[in-house]
């Protein structure tokens, strides 16, 4: 059931400006991150929801069948940057603001040693985070 619900969490991230200069690895960055190379392939679970910043952590809040569920998206370092002043996430060259709708493929699992998880982030009710393995965060049509 968790993966069916997790498959419906839309990342709300959709800005238009170019704020890709932020330091993703700054000590106060709210973005969970890890190293992933698209050439390595990835998992195919779908996360859809709305981007939220809470307690120093970037979350995706689910909607539809996943309403009420939140997850910590762990983003690939090579594709993401964070602008703390504007509170804008840049992913694969596109800016996303808090409240924007997004969607990404990847998989769920407990945080691992190769992930940097901000102190304020809390895994979901199952102790898992979503490791994003997608080259964009654009919502799927339909």
- Residue 18 to residues 78, 79, 124, 125: CA-CA distances in angstroms? 16, 14, 31, 35
- pLDDT, tens only, 32-91: 999 998 888 889 888 899 999 999 999 999 877 777 889 999 999 999 999 999 999 999
Q: What is the pTM (predicted TM-score) of this model?
A: 0.82
Is 7 inside a domain boundary?
Answer: yes
Is 142 inside a domain boundary?
Answer: no
Is 141 inside a domain boundary?
Answer: no
Is 61 inside a domain boundary?
Answer: yes
Q: pLDDT-based confidence at 1, cuts 50/70/90?
A: very low
* Total structural domains within the chain: 1
Is 24 inside a domain boundary?
Answer: yes
Q: Which domain holds residue 78?
A: 2-132
């Amino acid at each position: 059931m968790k993966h069916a619900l997790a498959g419906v969490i839309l990342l709300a991230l959709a800005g238009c400006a170019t704020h890709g200069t932020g330091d993703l690895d700054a000590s106060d960055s709210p973005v969970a991150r890890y190293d992933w190379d698209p050439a390595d392939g990835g998992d195919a679970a779908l996360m859809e929801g709305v981007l939220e910043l809470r307690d120093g952590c970037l979350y995706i809040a689910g909607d539809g069948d996943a309403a009420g569920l939140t997850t910590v998206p762990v983003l690939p370092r090579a594709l993401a940057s964070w602008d703390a002043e504007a509170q804008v996430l840049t992913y694969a060259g596109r800016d996303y603001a808090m409240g924007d709708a997004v969607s990404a493929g990847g998989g769920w699992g407990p945080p691992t040693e190769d992930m940097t998880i901000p102190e304020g982030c809390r895994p979901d009710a199952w102790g898992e985070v979503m490791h994003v393995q997608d080259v964009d965060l654009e919502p799927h049509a339909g």
